[in-house]
Amino acid sequence: MDILYTLGTGSIYQNAEIKTSIKLIRKYAKFGRIFVIGENPNIEGVEFIPFKDTMARTRNVFRKLCEIAENSDISEDFLYMMDDVFVLKPIDIEHYPLYHSGQIKEFQNMTSYLREILNTKEFLRQHNKPTLHYGVHCPIIYNKKKILEIDPMYWKYVNKYNRELNPRILYGNWFENDNKQFVKDCELIRDYPMQELKELLKDKEWFSIGSRSYDGNIKKYLEEL
């Protein structure tokens, strides 16, 4: 199975995040090839596909997924990674679980991202689909044919209502999967004292960071792995 990263612009760390993420996936997983679509991180040994962002962030990510699914020779099933996700122990990507964090709930303090999640929840309800929260900051297995199956309905909704849908949550709930597992998300949006950080991550399979979190003790911790 191959691995895919979608990469946009805006890293204030000169793409150190994706370089570290790829270093760790190479250490802890057996796989075919690594693809990167978007901006060029200049990493040796990856298959790079240039693709410019022209839309909102979520739409850009979905466009890249569809481009990979339709116009590349990536494996039929592939593991989708993000540049801000770091694997901390060996994983079996051939049988990787579809992680969720439970049912999508209502939110008190609304942001554009949370509105996107609620839009997706309502869309799924209208189509009598489950509404589990697959927006967990961890790897996920996508299938090329299934990505292209949801492509028309995604754009029909987005273009008609000018609202966002979350592709990951849509995909996870639209198709049957016998390998679903509940997990508590682990996204670190600030730095921690080193001992506290080690205690926090000691049993974790992975964790993710915010756009300004790759620094300080988190960086030192990752460099030691």
> For every one of its 225 residues, what pLDDT tens digit does the chain have, with 9 covering 90 and above?
999 999 999 899 999 999 999 999 999 999 999 999 999 999 999 999 999 999 999 999 999 999 999 999 999 999 999 999 999 999 999 999 999 999 999 888 889 999 999 999 999 999 999 999 999 999 999 999 999 999 999 999 999 999 999 999 999 999 999 999 999 999 999 999 999 999 999 999 999 999 889 999 999 999 999
Give the helix/strand (H/E) hosting 168.
Answer: helix 167-174
Tell me the C-alpha distance between 5 and 37, whole Å. Answer: 6
CATH of 2-223, one of 3.90.1150, 3.30.160, 3.30.43, 3.90.550: 3.90.550
Q: What is the pLDDT of residue 107?
A: 83
User: Per the structure block, which two tokens stand in for 5?
Assistant: 């990263």
pTM value is 0.95
Spatial CA neighbour of 217 closest among 182, 190, 179: 190
If one counts every other C-beta atom within 10 angstroms of the C-beta of residue 180, the result is 14
Q: Does residue 1 contact residue 78 with C-beta atoms inside 8 Å?
A: yes
Spatial CA neighbour of 122 closest among 109, 111, 106, 137: 106
**Could you give the 3-state DSSP secondary structure of residue 11?**
coil
Domain boundaries along the sequence of the chain: 2-223
